């Protein structure tokens, strides 16, 4: 059966996460309902990357199978049905065996922090009004690049075969008046980025040394890390695929 990739972005504030679950409205449930409203037939969506409740995305993907011929014109109608905090950017035909989740080669996230109260940032950045040594943050981000086992930064009860992640980017920077952490890896663990951010901020405040950060990483014990960074500061920026995946578009 023909397969399509659907690219979308969303503000996650009002949702209980990306993937359908038993309780709460999710991005997947809303998009599925919108597709079924437009095309008047059932759809089964597979997501590329899970995001938790309150987390946002500039780019994420679903794939689905259908015998219907779907064109770019129908993106307009779909967006008219969807709520204002979810936007579909394109729906493209792909190979029948293309997989939105398993064929993603890496994902890029951004965590945003503002240090002064701003009503326009309350749902998309963490208010952290404390002095921060930015050089220490950058050093901490570089330390992470030396490791592949992030057991200490995975929340409990995570059902994975291993805790290995290969980071290809880990960097703090100032952008548009915000302090942001940008990270790219082949995979991420549950709660991992929020744990990294909150723990690195301890180095930025001088309450955790670089050696202390290394000890947390090497302990392989999530009770050593700090997971206090709230979900609303996190945004999935990009999901990357081999160039062949979207060539049919």
Per CATH, the number for 3-103 is 3.30.70.580
| Lowest mean pLDDT across 122-126, 133-137, 153-157, 173-177 | 153-157
- Alpha helices, DSSP H, located in 125-237: 134-144, 192-204, 210-219
Task: Taking residues 61-68, report their average pLDDT.
Answer: 94
Task: Taking residues 104-114, report their average pLDDT.
Answer: 97
Query: Residues 22, 52, 97, 118: which is the catalytic one?
Result: 52
Q: Are 121 and 127 in contact (CB under 8 A)?
A: yes
Q: Tell me whether the CATH fold assigned to 3-103 matches the one assigned to 106-237.
A: yes
97 three-state secondary structure: coil
Output the average pLDDT for the chain. Answer: 93
Axis crossing angle, helix 210-219 with helix 192-204, rounded to the nearest 10: 150
At residue 14, φ and ψ (nearest 5 deg) are -90, 5
Output DSSP code: residue 188.
-
List, as own/partner pairs, every contact residues 63-67 make where C-beta atoms lie below 8 angstroms and the sequence separation is at least 24, other chains included.
63/3, 63/4, 63/5, 63/6, 63/94, 63/98, 63/99, 63/100, 64/3, 64/4, 64/6, 64/35, 65/1, 65/2, 65/3, 65/4, 65/96, 66/1, 66/2, 66/4, 66/39, 66/41, 67/1, 67/2
What is the fold, at CATH topology level, of the domain defined by 106-237?
Alpha-Beta Plaits (3.30.70)
pLDDT band, residue 247 (cuts 50/70/90): low
pLDDT band, residue 49 (cuts 50/70/90): confident
pLDDT band, residue 22 (cuts 50/70/90): confident
Q: Are 146 and 162 in contact (CB under 8 A)?
A: no
Task: Taking residues 84-93, report their average pLDDT.
Answer: 95
Indicate if 65 belongs to the active site. Answer: no
Q: What pLDDT is stored for residue 155 in this prediction? A: 86
Query: Regarding predicted confidence, which is higher, 245 or 119?
Result: 119
Domain ranges of the chain: 3-103, 106-237
Q: How many CA atoms lie within 13 A of 56 on its CB side?
A: 20
pLDDT band, residue 20 (cuts 50/70/90): confident
Share of the chain above pLDDT 90, in %: 85
């Amino acid at each position: 059966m023909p397969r399509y990739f659907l690219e979308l972005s969303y503000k996650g504030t009002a949702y209980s996460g990306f993937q359908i679950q038993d309780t709460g409205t999710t991005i997947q449930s809303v998009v599925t309902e919108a597709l079924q409203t437009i095309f008047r037939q059932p759809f089964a969506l597979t997501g590329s990357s899970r995001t938790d409740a309150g987390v946002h995305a500039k780019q994420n993907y679903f794939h689905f199978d259908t015998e219907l011929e779907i064109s770019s014109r129908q993106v307009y109608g779909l967006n008219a049905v969807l709520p204002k905090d979810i936007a579909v950017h394109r729906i493209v035909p792909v190979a029948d065996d293309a997989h939105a989740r398993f064929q993603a080669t890496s994902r890029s996230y951004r965590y945003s922090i503002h240090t002064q109260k701003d009503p326009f940032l309350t749902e998309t950045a963490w208010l952290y009004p404390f002095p921060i040594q930015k050089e220490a943050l950058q050093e901490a981000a570089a330390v992470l690049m030396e490791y592949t086992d992030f057991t200490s930064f995975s929340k409990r009860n995570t059902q994975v075969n291993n805790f290995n992640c290969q980071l290809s980017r880990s960097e703090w920077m100032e952008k548009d008046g915000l302090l942001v952490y940008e990270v790219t890896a082949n995979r991420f663990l549950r709660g991992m980025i929020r744990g990294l951010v909150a723990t690195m901020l301890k180095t930025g405040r001088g309450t955790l040394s670089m050696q202390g950060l290394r000890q947390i990483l090497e302990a392989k014990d999530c009770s050593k890390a700090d997971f206090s960074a709230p979900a609303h500061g996190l945004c999935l920026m990009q999901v990357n695929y081999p160039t062949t995946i979207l060539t049919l578009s």
